[in-house]
């Protein structure tokens, strides 16, 4: 069954009007009409079985037949702190880690960040990233899209998590003794994970020390040096595999 996202569904109402590009998409592109059904969701987790009453390109009116249960959330909360990347790579990381069930993506700028973003373009980019998270949620049937935080400096982000006592890992290709697999398997609490992935240029030794001071554990992903975006997707997939629902055991 097709799924569509809208801003907010008022659960008290039994009918709903969809306008804008989504209405056009439903009526013109997909040629859906009265009597057809789809799932209508909002960003807050509401989801309904919707029956089309009328459909023209500027407005699709639906009857909300019944609320549907949410897919169960992953048993692990994953926060990905991502070194800021060139635009297409950033889009890619958001799309792929969203599909893999990241809860929050928090971009940061650091010593070796190569892309400099003009201040006034940031809101546009943020909006774009949130759109990507939304469409990823739609396609992968997530109840709530990944949250995208604003861009902050590395030190500020590290300081923000200082008091947090869940497993906090900073991926570092020069780490010689600890790896992600060992940390994930050895952790006694497997509920919340905060991972840091460096930008294209990686982290400086000093940044690793600052992160360690705040409780982040430097960890290796093996001897191959991965591109930042590959490392980001890998870390989320591995946490979901070890602690979460990348499989059927903790899934639906
Ligand atoms: N500057 C480095 C590579 C940076 S890779 C160089 O050119 O040699 C970008 C980011 O991906 C790193 O900051 C790290 O967080 C992560 N990463 C890539 N490969 C990794 C590995 N084998 N182990 C741990 N982290 C890795």
- Measured CA to CA in angstroms, residue 84 lies from 91, 95, 135, 188 at distances of 11, 15, 21, 31
pLDDT in tens, 69-106: 887 778 999 999 999 999 899 999 999 999 999 999 99
Hey, what are 125's tokens? 């980019």
Ligand 1 mean position to 152 CA, how many Å? 20
The residue contributing the CA closest to ligand 1 atom 4 is 202
Q: What percent of the chain has pLDDT over 90?
A: 77
Residue 248 is assigned to a structural domain of this protein: no
Q: Which two tokens stand for residue 100?
A: 């893999």
Q: How far apart are CA 173 and CA 149, in angstroms?
A: 25
CATH of the domain at 191: 3.40.1280.10
- Kindly state whether residues 174 and 238 are assigned to the same domain: yes
My answer on whether 17 and 127 are in the same domain is no
Reference 168, options 177, 180, 156; nearest CA is 180
Q: Say if 249 falls within a structural domain.
A: no
Taking the centre of ligand 1 as the mean of its atom positions, its distance from the CA of residue 56, in whole angstroms, is 51
Number of structural domains (the chain) is: 2
Distance 198 CA to ligand 1 centre (A): 7
Domain end marker among 67, 91, 118: 67
173 and 112, same structural domain?
yes
Same domain, 49 and 96: no
Look at residues 129, 120, 17 and name the one whose alpha carbon lies nearest to residue 64: 17
Please report which residue ranges of 79-214 form alpha helices under DSSP H.
87-99, 122-140, 154-160, 180-186, 205-213
Is residue 19 situated within a structural domain?
yes
Domain coverage including residue 54: 3-67
Tell me: do 37 and 121 sit in the same domain.
no
User: How far apart (Å, rounded) are the C-alpha atoms in residues 40 and 138?
Assistant: 10
Q: Please indicate, yes or no, if residue 57 is contained in any of the structural domains.
A: yes
| Chosen domain end from 41, 67, 93 | 67
Cα-to-centroid distance, 173 and ligand 1 (Å):
5
Q: Let me know whether 100 and 186 are in one domain.
A: yes
> Model confidence over 171-203: pLDDT tens digits?
999 999 999 999 999 999 899 999 999 999 999
Q: Are 180 and 244 in contact (CB under 8 A)?
A: no
Lining ligand 1 with CB less than 6 A are: 171-173, 197-198, 201-203, 220-222, 224-226, 228, 231
Confidence of residue 251 (pLDDT cuts 50, 70, 90): low
β-bridge pairing 192-197 and 152-153: unpaired
Same domain for 62 and 81: no
């Amino acid at each position: 069954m097709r799924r569509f996202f809208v801003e907010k569904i008022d659960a008290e109402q039994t009918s709903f009007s969809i306008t804008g590009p989504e209405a056009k998409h439903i009526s013109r592109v997909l040629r859906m009409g009265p009597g057809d059904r789809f799932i209508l969701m909002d960003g807050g987790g509401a989801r309904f079985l919707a029956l089309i009453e009328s459909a023209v390109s500027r407005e699709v009116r639906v009857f909300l037949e019944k609320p549907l249960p949410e897919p169960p959330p992953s048993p692990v909360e994953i926060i990905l702190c991502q070194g800021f990347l060139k635009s297409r790579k950033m889009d890619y990381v958001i799309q792929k880690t969203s599909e893999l069930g990241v809860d929050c993506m928090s971009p940061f700028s650091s010593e070796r960040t190569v892309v400099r973003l003009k201040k006034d373009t940031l809101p546009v980019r943020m909006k774009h990233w949130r759109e990507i998270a939304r469409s990823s949620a739609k396609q992968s049937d997530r109840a709530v899209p990944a949250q995208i935080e604003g861009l902050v400096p590395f030190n500020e982000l590290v300081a923000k998590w200082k008091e947090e006592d869940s497993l906090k890992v900073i991926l570092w290709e020069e780490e010689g003794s600890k790896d992600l697999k060992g940390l994930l398997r050895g952790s006694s609490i497997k509920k919340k994970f905060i991972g840091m992935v460096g930008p294209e240029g990686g982290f400086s030794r000093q940044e690793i020390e600052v992160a360690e001071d705040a409780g982040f554990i430097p960890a290796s992903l093996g001897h191959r040096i991965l591109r930042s975006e590959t490392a980001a997707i890998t870390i989320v997939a591995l946490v979901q595999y070890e602690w979460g629902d990348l499989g059927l055991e903790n899934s639906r």
